[in-house]
A and B are shown apart, each in its own frame.
Chain A
């Protein structure tokens, strides 16, 4: 069982991720709606894994990923985003994220990615 932080500005997507991960026995330690909240929750909750959206108000996912890696370069992050363009995927992978899931996704895609990351 892993402690997971879900970052997405859409409650709909947070609920989908939350339901799928809970079914597999993972614990959702917090849900953030933007990058700033994600950093605060990361510091406060020390999650084992983060699912991170990219397009969000206040601070986007790529900025948040940079900041999180400054705090812990070994943080485990999976991007879950509607933006699936090659350059964005490559830059996120170069930053160190473990996987890049493009929305909409099948539940198995998420679970496989989480299992691999952990």
Chain B
């Protein structure tokens, strides 16, 4: 069974709206995240988080964004003041903890939406990938990407299915 691109985008938007409302305490969550057709060409992918779906659905969900966006999300989630610098040696650990948990919650919400079609879906713990300008290629059968414009910057979410 496949997931249509329209359904995928709807699931991502709904999940993010809820996450923004509860985790970021944004009561106007529905207006704060917008799906865009493509990121600006200058947008960099420097941080990626990958979670694997297993059991009912075999695939991967990959979150990618610039380091600047990752820092903004992390500071907001962890309650770190904007002017506080996150030390370079701590960044990977801090990103894994905050963005990894964000992805865990996002993946959990998607698994919940898909349970009627695919049964119980299990998730792996998140894997973090960092680099200067990442190009991630996964050789699964199908993949869909969606781009979200948020107060933190642009977030790319890709779902690949085996």
In the complex the two chains form, is A85's CB within 8 Å of B101's CB? Answer: no
- Whether A82 and B105, one on each chain, are in contact in the complex, defined by CB atoms closer than 8 angstroms, is yes
Q: Which of A10-18, A20-28, A41-49, A65-73 interfaces with chain B?
A: A10-18
Interface contact B22-A85, CB-CB below 8 Å: no
A94 within 8 A of B: no
Report if B162 contacts A (CB, 8 A).
no
The total of Cβ contacts below 8 Å across the A-B interface reads 60
How many angstroms from the CA of A15 to the CA of B109 in the assembled complex?
22
Tell whether, in the assembled complex, residue A85 and residue B97 are in contact, meaning their CB atoms are under 8 Å apart.
no
Report whether B22 and A104 are in contact in the complex, using a CB–CB cutoff of 8 Å: yes
Question: How many residues on chain A are close to B (CB under 8 Å)?
Answer: 22
B97-121 vs A, CB cutoff 8 Å, 1 = contact: the mask equals: 1101100110111011001000111
Contact check: which of B19, B78, B98, B120 meets A85 at CB < 8 Å? B120
Residues of A within 8 Å of B98, CB to CB, are 10, 12
Q: How far is the CA of A84 from the CA of B15 in the complex (A)?
A: 13
Q: Which residues of B contact A83 (CB under 8 A)?
A: 108, 111-112, 122-123
Structural contact, B125 and A57, CB atoms closer than 8 A: yes
**Residues B125 and A88 in contact, CB atoms below 8 Å apart:** no
Minimum distance in angstroms from B47 CB to a CB of chain A: 16
Q: Which residue of B lies closest to A19 (CB)?
A: B79
- Chain A residue at minimum C-beta to C-beta distance from B56: A85
* Interchain nearest-CB distance for B81 vs A (Å): 15
Chain A residue nearest to B96 (CB atoms) is: A10
The answer to whether A85 and B115 touch (CB under 8 A), given A10-B104, A104-B23, is yes
0/1 string, A51-62, CB within 8 A of B gives 1? 000011100000
> What is the CB-to-nearest-CB distance from B93 to chain A, in angstroms, rounded to a whole number?
9
Check A86–B101 contact: CB distance below 8 A: no
Q: Are A12 and B97 in contact (CB under 8 A)?
A: yes
Does B34 touch A at the CB level, under 8 Å? no
Closest A residue to B93 by beta carbon equals A11
Is B77 on the interface with A (CB-CB < 8 A)?
yes
Do A87 and B120 have beta carbons less than 8 Å apart?
A: yes
Is there contact, CB below 8 Å, between A81 and B108?
A: yes
> Are B108 and A102 touching (Cβ within 8 A)?
yes
Closest-CB distance, A87 to chain B (whole angstroms) = 4
Binding site for A on B (CB under 8 A): 18-19, 22-23, 77-78, 97-98, 100-101, 104-105, 107-109, 111-112, 115, 119-125
Nearest 4 Cβ contacts at the A-B interface: A82-B108, A104-B22, A10-B101, A87-B120
Between A and B, 15 residue pairs with Cβ closer than 8 Å are A9-B125, A10-B100, A12-B101, A15-B78, A55-B122, A55-B125, A56-B125, A85-B120, A85-B121, A86-B115, A103-B104, A103-B108, A104-B19, A104-B23, A106-B22
